A and B are shown apart, each in its own frame.
Chain A
Amino acid sequence: MDGKRILMIDDDPDFVDAVKMVLEKADYTVEAAYSPQDGYRALESKGYDLVILDCMMGRGAEGIIVARKLRKKKELGNLPVLMITGIRDQTGFFFVSDPKDETFLPVDGFLEKPVEPGVLLKEVGKLLHSRKTDESKKGE
């Protein structure tokens, strides 16, 4: 996967490690930020190809706020964001019926915890590919 760089923002180190293992096995480079603040900092300094974000960091729906902030940061360009979440956690089945509602939750992909490794790799591959296509279009 030509060493694509992925940043994971999630406050659970064990969960991060489990996902990281799968991604690294598939030759991605994965770095982790365990708080939104660390996440923003990492994004400022280094170039990433994808962000994987946990929706319910802490007890609020902090991930949703992070997703909205990332979308507003122009300098990130069209950095794809994949949200992995246990959203049913706090909202029961009264979550907006379409979690991919762009205005509510501006992310490019959405997976529910726990994630099957196959499903994860497929989604990550898809998002990285779509970014590549976007960029090549820009170059034309």
Chain B
Amino acid sequence: MSDEYAVLIIDDEEVVRDSCTRILAKNKCRIQTAPDGDTGLKMVEEFKPDLIFLDLKMPGISGMEVLERLQQIDATIVTVVITGYATIDTAVEAMKRGAYDFLPKPFGADELRLITKRGIEKRRLLLDAIALRREKEIIRENFTSIVSHELKSPLFAVQQTLYAFLAGVAGELRPEQKEMLERIRGRIDAMLKLINTWVEMTSVDFRQLKERFKPVDIPALLSKAREMLNAQAAGKNVQLVTHCPLAVKPVKGDEETLLEVFLNIIGNAIKYSDADSCVSITIEDRNHALRVSVADTGVGIEKEDLPFIFDDFYRGKAQSQTGELGSGLGLAISNRIIQAHDGSITVESERGKGSTFTVILPRGQ
């Protein structure tokens, strides 16, 4: 907003419109007037006023209604109501509906100038705040994508070169050379995964998920997750057992991110299970919601860790003891995804006895 500002006066009395125009004309101010609410509202889009003086009592649509519609058009336009019957009640009512201040009739030139000055200041603050917020958003998004790109590009090049080496294009490798390169490759893989997770965490707006909701067949999704985790489970000889009612009605949700959640929870269950044990996945269909619980008999979670396990970057004590490495973000991301589904994710756990994670997905109406 430049120094110049635009004021719209909506009042059915010609004398009010004229005198206001005259008083304000000396300022750096463009002024337009409207004799009734409908005309005024129509002018808003083209004229783009910063400040509107609005008479509450006019023929045609009421000032209150104009106020409400202005809120919908652009809530940053500052509106001051002019009221001839200056009861506190009407003023309060108008301010509840978004008016910034009120001006009781009759008013003097100084009063009008003062309230105009304050109204314009308010408008500037509102616009500044919005611009600042947007700037912050953009910086955050760009920062994440730049950091991600700049970190990952060199890693991709390193990784691709290792692949070429391992494929023997630079000559056959001795087994011990191969093993060392494999180790480097493993570490870089983990690093790439970590970067991906962090980027997801900071740049993805999970609220947008709702726009992509479709009916999801949860038992099918769980089998998919199981399939993807089979190798990991087989490696520790952990049995995955699913208990599921015959027919389960679908829930509305986003398949891709829900899969991410179950991969995370079941993956964790396997990770923190003892070898040769069992992870059981139970689906319960309740009319208003679907309940999926994943129970393991593994290391469990320390009581003091429990309140924090869904926090960003939190890593429990058990992790360091089992030698498992994690980003400390898996559950935090899962939690956000489930929240975007209006659901909940909870945990019961006892150290040394295992953990049960329960996801509840509501069916909505």
Measuring CB to CB, which residues of chain A are less than 8 angstroms from any residue of chain B? 12, 14-15, 17-19, 21-22, 24-25, 56, 59, 86, 88-90, 92-94, 97, 113-118
- Apart from A22-B163, A22-B164, A92-B204, list 19 A-B contacts with CB within 8 A: A12-B157, A14-B154, A15-B157, A15-B160, A17-B161, A18-B163, A21-B164, A86-B152, A86-B156, A89-B145, A92-B199, A93-B200, A93-B204, A93-B256, A113-B156, A113-B160, A114-B163, A117-B163, A118-B167
Specify which chain B residues have a CB less than 8 angstroms from the CB of A93 in the assembled complex. 200, 204, 256-257, 260
Give the complex CA separation of A21 and B163 in angstroms: 10
Specify which chain B residues have a CB less than 8 angstroms from the CB of A94 in the assembled complex. 204, 208
Q: Is B246 an interface residue (CB 8 A)?
A: no
Specify which chain B residues have a CB less than 8 angstroms from the CB of A115 in the assembled complex. 160, 163
Q: State how many residues of chain B have any CB contact under 8 Å with chain A.
A: 28
Q: A90-B148, A92-B200, A97-B256 are in contact. Are A117 and B164 (CB under 8 A)?
A: yes
Specify which chain B residues have a CB less than 8 angstroms from the CB of A59 in the assembled complex. 145-146, 149
Specify which chain A residues have a CB less than 8 angstroms from the CB of B145 in the assembled complex. 59, 89-90
Q: Which of B165-213 contact A (CB under 8 A)?
A: 166-167, 169-170, 196, 199-200, 203-204, 208
Contact status B164-A18, CB under 8 Å? yes
Give the complex CA separation of A89 and B148 in angstroms: 6
Q: Is B159 an interface residue (CB 8 A)?
A: yes
Q: Is B72 an interface residue (CB 8 A)?
A: no
Contact status B200-A18, CB under 8 Å? no
Specify which chain A residues have a CB less than 8 angstroms from the CB of B256 in the assembled complex. 93, 97
Contact status B157-A21, CB under 8 Å? no
Q: Is B320 an interface residue (CB 8 A)?
A: no
Specify which chain B residues have a CB less than 8 angstroms from the CB of A15 in the assembled complex. 153, 156-157, 160
Return the chain A residue nearest B167 by Cβ.
Answer: A117
Which interface residue of A19, A25, A59, A94 has the most chain B CB atoms within 10 A?
A94
Q: How far is the CB of B41 from chain A (nearest CB, A)?
A: 38
- Jot down 5 A-B pairs with beta carbons below 8 A, ordered by A: A14-B154, A17-B161, A89-B149, A93-B256, A94-B208
Return the chain B residue nearest A13 by Cβ.
Answer: B157
Q: A15-B157, A97-B256, A115-B160 are in contact. Are A22 and B149 (CB under 8 A)?
A: no
Q: How far is the CB of B334 from chain A (nearest CB, A)?
A: 13
Contact status A25-B196, CB under 8 Å? no
Specify which chain A residues have a CB less than 8 angstroms from the CB of B152 in the assembled complex. 86, 89
Q: A93-B260, A117-B163 are in contact. Are A12 and B200 (CB under 8 A)?
A: no
Specify which chain A residues have a CB less than 8 angstroms from the CB of B159 in the assembled complex. 113-114
Contact of B160 among A24, A25, A90, A114 (CB under 8 A): A114
Contact status B196-A88, CB under 8 Å? yes
Return the chain A residue nearest B141 by Cβ.
Answer: A90
Give the complex CA separation of A114 and B153 in angstroms: 10
Q: How far is the CB of A127 from chain B (nearest CB, A)?
A: 19
Specify which chain B residues have a CB less than 8 angstroms from the CB of A56 in the assembled complex. 149
Specify which chain A residues have a CB less than 8 angstroms from the CB of B153 in the assembled complex. 12, 15, 86
Q: A18-B163, A22-B169, A89-B148 are in contact. Are A114 and B156 (CB under 8 A)?
A: yes
Give the complex CA separation of A113 and B149 in angstroms: 12
Which interface residue of B160, B166, B200, B203 has the most chain A CB atoms within 10 A?
B160
Q: A14-B161, A19-B160, A86-B156 are in contact. Are A25 and B169 (CB under 8 A)?
A: yes
Which interface residue of B148, B158, B260 has the most chain A CB atoms within 10 A?
B148
Give the complex CA separation of A88 and B155 in angstroms: 14
Specify which chain A residues have a CB less than 8 angstroms from the CB of B196 in the assembled complex. 88, 92
Specify which chain B residues have a CB less than 8 angstroms from the CB of A90 in the assembled complex. 145, 148-149, 199
Specify which chain A residues have a CB less than 8 angstroms from the CB of B199 in the assembled complex. 89-90, 92
Q: Which of B251-277 contact A (CB under 8 A)?
A: 256-257, 260
Q: How far is the CB of B335 from chain A (nearest CB, A)?
A: 16
Q: How far is the CB of A32 from chain B (nearest CB, A)?
A: 13
Return the chain B residue nearest A20 by Cβ.
Answer: B164
Residues 280-322 of B, flagged 1 when their CB comes within 8 A of A and 0 if not, give: 0000000000000000000000000000000000000000000
Return the chain A residue nearest B205 by Cβ.
Answer: A94
Give the complex CA separation of A18 and B160 in angstroms: 6
The 10 closest A-B pairs by CB, nearest first: A18-B160, A14-B157, A114-B159, A117-B167, A18-B161, A15-B157, A92-B200, A90-B145, A113-B156, A21-B169
